[in-house]
Amino acid sequence: MRILVTGGAGYIGSHATLRLLRDGHEVLVIDNLSRGHAGALGAVRRSVANAEARLTFAKIDLLDEAALVPAVSAFDPDAVLHFAAMAYVGESVASPLEYWRVNVAGGVSLLRACAASRGGAGVPRFVFSSTTATYGQPAPHEVPIVETMAQAPINPYGASKLAMERVLRDHAAACSAAGREFSCAFLRYFNVAGCDRAGVLGEHHAPETHLIPTLIQAALGIREHFRGENVVTLYGSDYPTPDGTAIRDYIHVEDLVDAHVRVLAAMSPGRVLAYNLGRGRGSSVKEVVASVERVLGRSVPVKMGPRRAGDPAELTADASLIARELGWSPRVADLDDIVSSACSWFAAHRRGYDV
């Protein structure tokens, strides 16, 4: 297939691009490189045979329809994996207009370009990178979270992702009414972590706010390069959990990408799919710290801080729906294995993709 990957130079998008090329697909990556890295695509090209012939990159902002529409039409994709977005909860609270502009207006711009492609028939498959943040703050009895739970986001990031889900539902309904082929899927991620286990790709954000990479960077003494302090603050020690720290569901990035591949294969005209993606079990903040220390064989400099407003005690996924319908389940099931893949990459790339 010819597959368009937006945000394909970012953390998850680059891992998806690598998998698609390994599977023999032709890929167009569209990324404005505001938060992605050309170095990630360079690593992909070096590691996959004949990648130059099957991987095309276009530096385009999704809001630039004058550039986007001809690029999509020229590639004539069979499917889209849409990863491009802004994805920091705190930043979304401080800059909500930017999140609505990028995540919603940018998504609509992409959808318009897709609808105009293939001689006006439109791209028939669209997989959307959504998030557990669309569910908001579940009550304890609602955990683990199922796809039928009410979606009530409590921050602009989650709200912007839910808005795009609704846009896609409306577009799917309009296509069905007009007799046009279109199927879409919403994949609601829990905490994505780890790196390509072959060592080709990793996770490079600046600033880095995700727990596992911040702990690894602090232990290795490289946090400053990723715009962070070398002592990691752990927020909240008085949650109603076994060790007092918050519990989250961590899924390895390669398992996440594998779910996207399975969803692509399962899509058919008129279907609207929604799946949670997680391991189905949680790990507390203190358990994650202990895992990093075990894998690296050194201590992590941490300090305790107060809870952050809006942080639930526990967020774990019920991912049984995608298991039943598509046969997907995480292959990297052990937390130490997830952490180990990230530790290996950071140890070998102490400045990330920067050279």
In order of 78, 144, 349, the CA distances from 252 in angstroms are: 27, 18, 19
* pLDDT single digits (tens) 9-19: 999 999 999 99
Per-residue pLDDT band at 310 (split at 50, 70, 90): confident
* pLDDT single digits (tens) 109-150: 999 999 999 999 999 999 999 999 999 999 999 999 999 999
For position 152, what pLDDT does the model report? 97
* Mean predicted confidence (pLDDT) in 207-225: 97
| 27 three-class SS | strand
pTM over 0.75: yes
| 185 three-class SS | strand
Percent of the chain with pLDDT over 70: 100
**Could you give the residue ranges of the DSSP H alpha helices within the chain?**
11-22, 38-47, 51-54, 65-75, 89-94, 96-99, 106-116, 156-178, 211-220, 253-266, 285-296, 320-326, 335-348
Q: Is the Cβ–Cβ distance between 275 and 319 less than 8 Å?
A: yes
Per-residue pLDDT band at 333 (split at 50, 70, 90): very high
For position 337, what pLDDT does the model report? 98
**Does residue 48 have a pLDDT over 90?**
yes
For position 355, what pLDDT does the model report? 79
Q: Is the Cβ–Cβ distance between 54 and 25 less than 8 Å?
A: yes
- Catalytic residue flag (residue 250): no
113/342 Cα distance (integer angstroms): 36
* pLDDT single digits (tens) 227-281: 999 999 999 999 999 999 999 999 999 999 999 999 999 999 999 999 999 999 9
Beta-carbon contacts of 48 under 8 Å, excluding residues fewer than 6 positions away, are 18, 21, 22, 55
Helix (H) or strand (E) holding 235: strand 232-235
55, β-bridge pairs: 27
Q: Is the Cβ–Cβ distance between 261 and 326 less than 8 Å?
A: no
* Rounded (10°) angle between helices 211-220 and 285-296: 40
110/121 Cα distance (integer angstroms): 15
Beta-carbon contacts of 136 under 8 Å, excluding residues fewer than 6 positions away, are 151, 152, 153, 154, 158
For position 211, what pLDDT does the model report? 98
For position 146, what pLDDT does the model report? 98
For position 264, what pLDDT does the model report? 98
* Mean predicted confidence (pLDDT) in 17-35: 98
293/33 Cα distance (integer angstroms): 33
What is the amino acid identity at position 207? P
Helix (H) or strand (E) holding 229: none
What is the amino acid identity at position 34? S
* Mean predicted confidence (pLDDT) in 78-84: 98
Domains of the chain, with CATH numbers? 2-348 (3.40.50.720)
Q: Among 261, 284, 305, which residue's Cα sits nearest to residue 25?
A: 261
Kindly report the average pLDDT of the chain as a whole number.
Answer: 97
For position 81, what pLDDT does the model report? 98
Neighbour-count burial of 162, counting CB atoms closer than 10 A to its CB (0-12 exposed, 13-18 middle, 19+ buried): buried
251, β-bridge pairs: 192
135/157 Cα distance (integer angstroms): 11
Among left, alpha and beta (phi > 0; psi -120 to 50; other), residue 227 is: left
Catalytic residue from among 11, 135, 157, 275: 157
Which tokens go with 22?
A: 């390994």
Q: Among 30, 22, 27, which residue's Cα sits nearest to residue 54?
A: 27
* pLDDT single digits (tens) 89-118: 999 999 999 999 999 999 999 999 999 999
